[in-house]
Amino acid sequence: MVTSDEDAKKAYADFEKKVKRTIYIDHLSPQVTSSVIKAALAQCANVVDVEFIVNYTVPYDIPSAALVELDDEIQAKAALDLMNDFPFIIGGMPRPVRAICAKPEMFRERPPHPGIRKEFRWVKQEDGTEYQGMKKLRILAKRQEVENMALIKNQLEEEKELAKQQQELLDGNYNKYDMLENVVQNGNMKSLAQHYGVSLADEF
């Protein structure tokens, strides 16, 4: 008969296998969706699941990081190599993202580690040193929250400016192709070919 301890060990072993076939991606744009990530990795891996890591310290829904589970560990390595060697493309434009191997502590839902027992208790003022230590941590956490908010606002401004630059570049490329198409359609291509002595039959 299988005991609860054996069940716990098996559950954690399965979780460790999941960790090995999962990669962590950060510096993502707010425009990134599960479909975008699946399309970007389709050439080297099959995406099983995408879990965006929510930053609960800011009042913005910004998917700045994600855990991406793939079919196996080999695909995870291939995806890491791809993302570290080549730019991550979103909407035809490269994005500066970072990809690393996932770690157990990155997962919001994970089974307890067998053999480790955790205990919690409230820290009260009469606890003395422990209470003062927690009070300092609370002050530090508030300070970090303010600094984090400033960084997030700066990131949003950079994202907005980058999106504007990318859109201008896309519009410029579209106008170039549109101009070339018009030259072909209105007959100016043949006139230019005759002027420069180029045979269109050889070029097209």
Per-residue pLDDT band at 17 (split at 50, 70, 90): very high
Same domain, 125 and 72: no
Q: 6 and 45, same structural domain?
A: yes
In a domain, 127, yes or no: yes
143 and 100 fall within a common domain? no
Same domain, 101 and 43: yes
Residues 125 and 96 in one domain: no
Domain hosting 176: range is 121-197
Indicate if 143 and 95 belong to the same structural domain: no
Indicate if 97 and 137 belong to the same structural domain: no
The end-to-end CA distance of the chain, in Å, is 75
Task: State whether 126 and 95 are in the same domain.
Answer: no
Does any domain span residue 116? no
To the question of pTM greater than 0.75 for the whole model, the response is: no
| Residue 112 lies inside a defined structural domain of this protein | no
Model confidence over 135-168: pLDDT tens digits? 888 898 888 878 877 877 787 787 778 778 877 8
Structure tokens at 3: 């005991």
For the chain, what is the mean pLDDT? Answer: 82
151 and 101, same domain (yes or no): no
67 and 17 part of one domain: yes
Whether the per-residue pLDDT at 7 is higher than 90: the answer is: no
Q: What pLDDT score does 92 carry?
A: 62
Please check whether residue 21 is in contact with residue 101, taking contact to mean a CB–CB distance below 8 angstroms: no
Last residue of a domain, one of 106, 132, 150: 106
Considering only residues 18 and 193, tell me which one the structure prediction assigns the higher pLDDT.
18
Residue-wise pLDDT for 85-128, tens only, equals 887 776 566 777 889 999 999 998 888 888 777 777 787 878 77
Question: 125 and 191: one domain?
Answer: yes
Residue 167 in any domain: the answer is yes
CATH code: domain of residue 76 = 3.30.70.330
Residues 40 and 8 in one domain: yes
- Count of domains in the chain? 2
